[in-house]
Amino acid sequence: MAGKEVAKQSLKVVMFLGSARENRVCTRVSKFVHEQLTRSGHDVTVIDPLEMDLPVLRQSMMFVKDWTTLPETMVKANETLVNSDTIVVISPEYNHSIPPALSNLIDHFPISSYKYKVSGIVCYSPGPYGGMRAAMQLRCLLSEIGTISVPHIFGIPHVTKALDEDGKPLNEHMESGARKLITQLGWYSEALKAKKEKDGVPS
């Protein structure tokens, strides 16, 4: 049954950037993944902690009664998130854990905006292990908010040797790694989307 020819759907992907650090390598990684997702026919919107410029979490949107008091960018970003099919996180590790810029961004939005969606983890590091330590924490975080991560993690070791500043791949593993992730994102996202359209979600 595998490999049956089907028209692939275009997914609405929200891409969370995981760094607000100066001179962040995150830019090149997100450029590369953005390009790969677009080439696969998907529609990508970036949510960037540097642009959002949120404070360290005082209160999730979930607990704010009057959303007119919130920054418009936040309300708009949440709308995009609600309407999305799929979430992709582009994550470095800070001290080999989830960067606060990323968890802070994720935690600001209501859990209901994430539920019954699919996520993909892209992680990277300047050194040999590709950010896998942070990825293990992200698996848990993403599951807990109801946007389960697909099995394949796309980890990029020695990231500055793997991608140039414009996000152009410098070795042959980049495109195959991205493709594997994108294939899984497509399959799982289509599965959940069809289910939602047919039956809604559990109350």
- Options 73, 83, 97, 171; binder of its own copies; rule CB under 8 A: 97
Least Å distance, CB 177 to its own copies, is 10
Instruction: Give 129's contacts (C-beta < 8 A, 6+ positions apart).
Output: 155, 157
Beta-carbon count within 10 A of 97 CB: 13
Using DSSP's 3-state secondary structure scheme, residue 116 falls into: coil
Nearer to its own copies, 99 or 169 (CB): 99
Interface with its own copies, residue 12, by CB under 8 A: no
Q: Is 158 exposed, middle or buried (0-12, 13-18, 19+ CB in 10 A)?
A: middle
- Candidates 33-41, 73-81, 97-105, 164-172; binding stretch for its own copies (CB under 8 A): 97-105
Give the alpha-carbon dihedral of 147, 148, 153, 155, to 10 degrees: 40
Stretch that binds its own copies, among 28-36, 70-78, 80-88, 91-99 (CB under 8 A): 91-99
Instruction: Compute how many other C-beta atoms are within 10 angstroms of the C-beta atom of residue 31.
Output: 18
Residue numbers at the binding site for its own copies (CB under 8 A) = 1-4, 6, 20-22, 49, 54-59, 94-101, 103-104, 106-107, 111, 115-116, 128-130, 132-133, 135-137, 139-141, 143-146, 148-151, 155, 157, 183-184, 187-188, 190-192, 194-196, 198-203
